[in-house]
Amino acid sequence: MTNILCIGAGYVGGPTMAVIAKHCPQHRIDVVDIDEKKIAAWQSDNLPIYEPGLKEVVLSARGRNLFFSTDINEHISQADIIFVSVNTPTKNFGRGAGKAADLQFWEKTARQIIENSTTSKIVVEKSTLPVRTAEAMERILNSNNRGLFFDVISNPEFLAEGTAIEDMENPDRVLIGGRETPSGQRAVQAIVDIYAKWVPQECIITTNLWSSELSKLVANAFLAQRISSINAIANLCEKTEADISEVAHAVGTDSRVGPDFLRASVGFGGSCFKKDILNLVYLCDHFGLPEVSVYWEQVIKMNEYQMANFVSKMVAAMFNTVAGKRIALFGAAFKANTSDTRESAALSVCRSLLDEHAQVVITDPYALENARADLIDVIEQVIFEPDPYAAAQGAHAIAVLTEWPQYVELDYQSIYDEMIHPSFIFDGRNILNHKKLHNIGFNVYPIGKPPKTHFTR
Ligand code: UDX
Ligand code: UDX
């Protein structure tokens, strides 16, 4: 039996370890965190995050070979392999503020590992980190004078929220980077052996440490770049009467381009894309590559423009003022099937509308609690309403900001009947039936398509 420990029971650590525990009943998996409330939630029926299929997997392994605890030190001492998935937010102070990764939790964790270890261990970077962080970690971990040796492995996560369990069960690939020394290669093999219990061998890629660390940042940068690219073209579509869905289909059917991640939207969010690209930008600057840095920074700037421009278009359509007007925001989560609101375009739109003195009502099936916490500084100005029908009642406009499938199924005739007329729908996700809405009486503003209005000029 191998004792596997994961430090950090967040969106990454929790689901990842639950799936490993499910497929490796011969190993003991402990997941620890400094946050007592979070650990209590992982031990309860009310898990701290919403993720389809997560509960079933946790319940199948919890108490058998999957355990949650706040006793970090004791579990470090017993572990053979330690995954670290503590958060690495963007640094908001000092050098590199606003771009570089804040590695203080990582370093603190590394020091905690040395202090509580009596045997040599494999330490796995699960958190997304700047390229060459493993080198610093090796130096810190191997600075001990007790003859202990730590192999540092990079095993970045590629989980997308909302499909985390599916992504872990059937990954496109698992990436494992390690040193090319005999000890490093043995450590790589130990991690390969864990995943090989359910992942086909050809989907497990092994590389050197630096390629693995950098590939994670680049994978996210490429995904975000596709969204900014399609959103840039959506703006051009709005000026030319081209239709972004048709353009995306035409372009995406080229097998070299591929159809995925070409959905124009109000903007991408989530804890990773912005943070990881800023990290990449910082690294390029650090290594004296300003042209490369500017190239990637533009992906973020385009996304910020997309969110700001969405609100500009709302205000312009609603006779250049939204002051005092009730506006219902459908969705707070940064994407469907998650309760996560980190960097959500919905919150950015909400704040911009508040700046315009609109009366904002937010509805969401799972993310209202997080939205409340994120908007705590303006909480008096926002109404949080779980029922979309009630949110839209008496509103001038609806803005669809998260692609929750339940928003497609609503009875828009009865919603329209309860709204102020003329009524507006701004579909920031292009999920609704625009023709049908227009026939009901709405003035409909999609992304990257001509609006359908009842105004003659
Ligand atoms: C985090 C990072 O954001 C991401 O860059 C990385 O790829 C993986 O880890 P996520 O799991 O989404 O992703 O973060 P979060 O849900 O905030 O979880 C991190 C957990 O670490 C929190 O529960 C926090 O309490 C815990 N933590 C943090 C510790 O246990 N110890 C610490 O010192 C710091
Ligand atoms: C992302 C990566 O996909 C994952 O591999 C990595 O491990 C973590 O970061 P995540 O942020 O959970 O995952 O969600 P993702 O599905 O990538 O969506 C990110 C954002 O892009 C969401 O706001 C989503 O709505 C938006 N998006 C996605 C679009 O606007 N258009 C698209 O075509 C796809």
Q: Is the CB of 265 under 6 A from ligand 2?
A: yes
Write out the H or E segment, with its range, that includes residue 295. Answer: helix 290-317
CA of 448 relative to ligand 1 center, distance in Å: 36
> pLDDT of the chain along its 457 residues, tens only?
899 999 999 999 999 999 999 999 999 999 999 999 999 999 999 999 989 999 999 999 999 999 999 999 999 999 999 999 998 888 899 988 888 888 899 999 999 999 999 999 999 999 888 888 889 899 999 998 899 999 999 999 999 988 999 999 999 999 999 999 999 999 999 999 999 999 999 999 999 999 999 999 999 999 999 999 999 999 999 999 999 999 999 999 999 999 999 999 999 999 999 999 999 999 999 999 999 999 999 999 999 999 999 999 999 999 999 999 999 999 999 999 999 999 999 999 999 999 999 999 999 999 999 999 999 999 999 999 999 999 999 999 999 999 999 999 999 999 999 999 999 999 999 999 999 999 999 999 999 999 999 998 6
Ligand number nearest CA of 39 is 1
| Phi and psi angles of residue 23, each rounded to the nearest 5 degrees, phi first | -90, -10
Catalytic residue, from 6, 237, 272, 284: name it.
Answer: 272
> Residue 372 region, left (φ>0) first, then alpha (ψ -120 to 50), else beta?
alpha
Atom 15 of ligand 1 has which residue's CA nearest to it? 10
Closest atom of ligand 1 to 276 CA is 5
**230 in Cβ contact with 262 (< 8 Å):** yes
Q: Is the CB of 81 under 6 A from ligand 2?
A: no
As a 3-state breakdown, the chain gives helix, strand, coil percent values, each rounded to 5, of 45, 15, 40
**264 in Cβ contact with 248 (< 8 Å):** yes
Ligand number nearest CA of 223 is 2
Alpha helices in 29-132 (DSSP H): 36-43, 54-61, 72-78, 104-115
CA distance 372 to 362: 10
Atom 18 of ligand 1 has which residue's CA nearest to it? 10
Closest atom of ligand 1 to 275 CA is 5
pLDDT at 457: 65
Q: Which residues pair with 359 in a beta bridge?
A: 326
The reported pTM is: 0.93
Calculate Rg over the CA atoms of the chain: 24
Q: Is the CB of 38 under 6 A from ligand 1?
A: yes
CA distance 171 to 192: 14
Q: Identify the DSSP state of 449.
A: S
Q: Identify the DSSP state of 62.
A: B
Atom 27 of ligand 2 has which residue's CA nearest to it? 268
Q: Could you tell me where the beta strands, DSSP code E, fall in 70-145?
A: 81-84, 121-125
What Cα–Cα distance (Å) separates residue 132 from each residue in 152, 192, 213, 350, 388? 11, 21, 7, 38, 47
What is the bridge-based pairing of β-strands 81-84 and 28-32? unpaired
At residue 153, what is the residue type?
A: I
How many other CB atoms sit within 10 Å of the CB of residue 441? 15
* Residue position matching structure tokens 């929750």: 404
**333 in Cβ contact with 402 (< 8 Å):** yes
CA of 9 relative to ligand 1 center, distance in Å: 7
Pocket test for ligand 2, best of 54, 161, 429 (most atoms within 8 A of CB): 161
Q: Is 284 a catalytic residue?
A: no
Q: Is the CB of 223 under 6 A from ligand 2?
A: yes
**150 in Cβ contact with 121 (< 8 Å):** yes
At residue 126, what is the residue type?
A: K
**Residues 270, 159, 177, CA angle at the centre, nearest 5°?**
115
**351 in Cβ contact with 275 (< 8 Å):** no
**159 in Cβ contact with 335 (< 8 Å):** no
Atom 1 of ligand 1 has which residue's CA nearest to it? 87
Closest atom of ligand 1 to 11 CA is 11
Q: Is the CB of 35 under 6 A from ligand 1?
A: yes
CA of 160 relative to ligand 2 center, distance in Å: 6
Q: Is the CB of 244 under 6 A from ligand 2?
A: no
Q: Is the CB of 334 under 6 A from ligand 2?
A: yes
Q: Is the CB of 87 under 6 A from ligand 1?
A: yes
Closest atom of ligand 1 to 35 CA is 25
Q: Which residues pair with 362 in a beta bridge?
A: 329, 384
Q: Could you tell me where the beta strands, DSSP code E, fall in 323-456?
A: 326-330, 359-363, 382-384, 397-400, 424-427, 443-445
Closest atom of ligand 1 to 34 CA is 30
Exposed / middle / buried, residue 240 (Cβ in 10 Å: 0-12, 13-18, 19+): exposed
pLDDT at 421: 97
Write out the H or E segment, with its range, that includes residue 175. Answer: strand 174-178
CA distance 22 to 28: 11
